[in-house]
Structure 1
Amino acid sequence: MMTIKDVEVKKALNAWKPDAMLTNLSIAYYEEPQFAARRLFPICPVTLPAGKFYIFRKGDLARDNMRKKPPYGTVAPAVFGLDTQSYTCEIYQEKIGMDRLIALPYERASAFDMKRARTKTLTEQIALHQEIEFAEKFFKAGVWNNEWQGAASTNKANKKFAKFSGANDPAEIMDYLSMEIRRNGRRRPNKLALGTETYAALRSNAAIKERIKYTGTNSAPAVVNEQCLAAIFGVDSVVVLDSTVNRAGVGAADQMEFVCDPKGALLLYTPEAAAVDTPSAGYMFTYQISGNDYIAVEEFEGEPGSYTTFLSGLIAYDMRITSQDLAVYLTDCV
């Protein structure tokens, strides 16, 4: 056991290292608030875990049904068809334990609040799970009917576009695709989601930089960022999908990857909030499992004598494509 004299000797030699935790620093690789699922697709709260919703047929709504009234008679009723689509909110759970005996010395030293740290971890785990499902449901090849592939040059008949990393103007294909979505879906796309490599290629694209080269000043130089690209492509917002995930199992070497395809892009229309008679490329249906919220975090005690507390996180939702006409997915952008 180290005595006071031993400590004084080590202090004189600058070799004493107190075994105490810092109160103003800890290191945890929490994700920055860049999860995209909740920013791109509106949340539609539902009171039942499963159900159906109506879809008015676009063709009937877009058809001119007005007819000249015949004398002494009336016109035939217009036909407006209805289809239905279903949703099923699955419930997901994660549980995190806290050993109160292990946490006690750290809390007494005000090193950190384990409960607060575990709650933050649980909240981020919920968001990460949603982000992974977003990538599976919305941001990959094969899920959207309207899909284009990057190539050496543009060939609209074969749904090929010139890769953004080449000598081309990406605004041309974006304008064309926006007009196609407006023509087929009756809404102009308002959001653009970009994989990390796609975003980097657009930032370096010569045609994009040419468009802004005279817009900067010495104090505010022109840069290609999300706001700049949104203005060039005519959308309200550009979202870069740069959240990461460890694909390795417990105990294996970390395998860090981007959650969403880094070479992909998704041009789409979604409203800011769910509303009746409002079309959207997709919705996130959320089942209210705790009051008015679809996320529930609960604290409960472990087995008697274990001095353990658990945090349980529940979430109930279903991500659904609700209109294939309101989005186009681009693969191999780089």
Structure 2
Amino acid sequence: MNPRSTTAGLQAQIAKGWRPNNYLTNMSMAYFANPGDFVAPCIFPICPVELSSSYYYKFDKADLARDNVRRKPAYGKVAPAIFGQTDDTYKCEVDQVIVGIDQISTLNYQRSRAPGVADPRRAKVRFATEQMLLHQDIIFARNFFHAGVWGQEWSGVAATPSGSQFLKFSDANFDPVHFFDERIRDIKQSGRRTPNRLALGYDAYLGLKEHPDILERIKYTGTTANPAKVTPAVLAQLFGVEQVKVLESTYNAAGLGQGEDMQFICDTKGALLCYATPSPAIDEPSAGYIFTWDMLGNGAHVAFDQFDGEKGTHTEFVEGLMSTDMRKTADDLAMYFKDCV
């Protein structure tokens, strides 16, 4: 018999501070997402605003791009050039999530010396934080990443493309580098900026990653120790953009009480090529903006608070608040591709 399992052995362990039925404090099965999977802040710039809703200027592209310089007549002057402007609006709504903490059951964790992953407060603060990130990606997908949003839209087909169609990324006859070179040229011509970001749905990324033309272009770039492989950074170099972002965030599409229905948030077969300024600017266009309002006046568009519940309930709550408006601001600086695979 194991001496540690005898009465005397158990008493000796208890005397040394052993506690039965303790939870592990160095691991848990918490399905929090990889923070790098979330996409919303990676594509379009965040623009903090002082008012929850207001206006912003839009200068007329046709006037800016037109040659308004004329030969000066003798003893006279040319007519003033037209420099038109309009305005558009944004409106930041406030979204909220609240999660409760039972103060009585929390005592078990405190008294069992179970810090870290087992700490209910820490876990629920992280839960509220991830809820904010998840919600932002869902708004991003709804406002930017699906068919019918952008004026310039292309469709993948299985054969004989025409007009605004292309062979699917998964077709060996598709020429990805030439195709994106042409689309970058189109946006440069119509929008006066060279696209710098390409967002890929997960299956669209896999289609490009496994495409024989791309594999052929990189096959001599590896070594035995580090074989060549297609990554978002490699695709960015091949297509001539600053960033290729794979849209990997997932969510449970089922309601409370239903069986889970795990899905990717963004259309896995879609892609978005666009120009976005790195930061808000008064003299620079951007295909989209994420307007954010500090609804509590503390400079943060995502804010958290903790407060006690009603007396007698022995509860406290963690609150997350967010106020944003993700808005398409320049339709000619983006192009959406649907049914890529």
TM-score (norm 2): 0.92
Unaligned runs of 5+ in 1: 9-16
- Give the distance between the partners of 2:322 and 2:139, measured in 1 at CA: 13
Match of residue 71, structure 1, among 56, 62, 74: 74
One-letter amino acid matched to 1:80? F
1:286 equivalent in structure 2? 292
Percent identity between matched residues is 48
1:119 aligns with 2:122: no
Deviation per CA, 1:92-134: give whole Å up to 9, x if none.
0110100011111113223222111111110110110010010
1:23 equivalent in structure 2? 25
Contact 2:104/2:314 (8 A) holds in 1: yes
- Give the distance between the partners of 1:153 and 1:236, measured in 2 at CA: 31
Equivalenced residues, count: 324
* Cα distance change, pair 304–7 in 1 and its aligned pair in 2 (3 A): farther
Deviation per CA, 1:271-321: give whole Å up to 9, x if none.
111111110000000011231111111111001121101011111110000
* Cα distance change, pair 171–153 in 1 and its aligned pair in 2 (3 A): farther
Contact 1:107/1:114 (8 A) holds in 2: no
1:197 equivalent in structure 2? 203
1:160 equivalent in structure 2? 165
1:104 aligns with 2:107: yes
Q: Which 4+ residue blocks in structure 1 deviate beyond 4 angstroms?
A: none
1:306 aligns with 2:308: no
Cα RMSD for the two superposed structures: 1.7
1:216 equivalent in structure 2? 222
1:180 equivalent in structure 2? 186
Q: CA deviation at 1:152?
A: 2.4
1:249 equivalent in structure 2? 255
- Give the distance between the partners of 1:95 and 1:239, measured in 2 at CA: 31
Q: CA deviation at 1:172?
A: 1.4
1:267 aligns with 2:282: no
- Give the distance between the partners of 2:214 and 2:113, measured in 1 at CA: 51
Contact 1:23/1:109 (8 A) holds in 2: no
Q: Which moved more, 1:111-120 or 1:252-261?
A: 111-120
* Cα distance change, pair 190–226 in 1 and its aligned pair in 2 (3 A): same
Contact 1:149/1:333 (8 A) holds in 2: yes
1:323 equivalent in structure 2? 330
Contact 1:192/1:239 (8 A) holds in 2: yes
Unaligned runs of 5+ in 2: 11-18
* Cα distance change, pair 63–113 in 1 and its aligned pair in 2 (3 A): same
Q: Which moved more, 1:259-268 or 1:168-177?
A: 168-177
- Give the distance between the partners of 1:128 and 1:6, measured in 2 at CA: 53
Contact 1:153/1:160 (8 A) holds in 2: no
- Give the distance between the partners of 1:245 and 1:109, measured in 2 at CA: 33
